[in-house]
Structure 1
Amino acid sequence: MTDKITAGQLYQRIQPVIQQSSRAAKPAERSAEPRSFEQLLQANLLKFSHHAEARLLQRGIRMNAESLAKLEKAVRQAEAKGAKESLILTSDAAFIVNVKNRTVVTAIDHASLQQHVFTQIDSAVIVDA
């Protein structure tokens, strides 16, 4: 159902969607924080299925390092509660995540949320803005 891809392949596929953080980090901060999308993915092992990548592009959902960090934190929270398939609502979008595999299955923008019914999930995590 989901193809495994490396962070490098993911970065190449959705690079146009990624917004680089405009905040300039101090040299001391750079060593403590991941500096790129690929490094953040490798550090947290969060994967995106091919379907999720296509939905990010199709729906114009932009991911940056901060939004990925929030998504990863939400996955960890769901995992701590024993969730298997979770709906994660952020200020920008909603994501269905297979928690065990740490894989984002699909992504929905807020404009489309009113038209969706979410099935086969066992939990929901609402992320602060």
Structure 2
Amino acid sequence: MDHRIHALHPTILPNQQNNKKKNVETSFKEILGQQQPIQISKHAEQRMASRNIEITIDKWYEMESKLEEASKKGVRDSLVITDEAAFIVNAKNKTVITAMEKSEMKSKIFTNINGTILID
């Protein structure tokens, strides 16, 4: 006769394990605020200053929201066009790479982008 004590361990099915991970990830994202603010590279900051480009806080929030949406659709580098200016932005890390006044866009060719966002 076997006198050892056998403990019964509940079986966690793969689907149950994935659900636990999703709950943990969601909670972590909620703690971090879910949206990363837009960063401005030194180059873009200098260009904005030299060209007197000023964007309202509402436009920045709208840009953040659209970049989040674009990133989910696989956009890596985006041309963001507003009424005031145009920006090349890395959608994944939400960093403005460069900026130009809208009047400068007429003779420009934009390369290394795979998405465009228009903001009114």
TM-score (norm 1): 0.62
How many matched pairs?
86
1:49 to 33, 41, 57: 41
- Say whether 1:69 aligns with 2:57: no
- Say whether 1:94 aligns with 2:118: no
In structure 2, what residue type is equivalent to 1:67? K
Q: Distance between the aligned counterparts of 1:101 and 1:123, measured in 2?
A: 15
CA displacement, residues 98-127 of structure 1 (integer Å, 9 cap, x when unaligned): 111110001111110112110000111111
CA displacement, residues 3-46 of structure 1 (integer Å, 9 cap, x when unaligned): xxxxxxxxxxxxxxxxxxxxxxxxxxxxxxxxxxxxxxxx7421
Which stretches in structure 2 are left out of the alignment for 5+ residues? 1-34
- Structure 1 or 2, whichever has the larger Rg, is 2
Q: Distance between the aligned counterparts of 1:63 and 1:126, measured in 2?
A: 14
- Asked if 2 retains the 8 angstrom alpha-carbon contact of 1:92 and 1:110, the reply is yes
TM-score (norm 2): 0.66
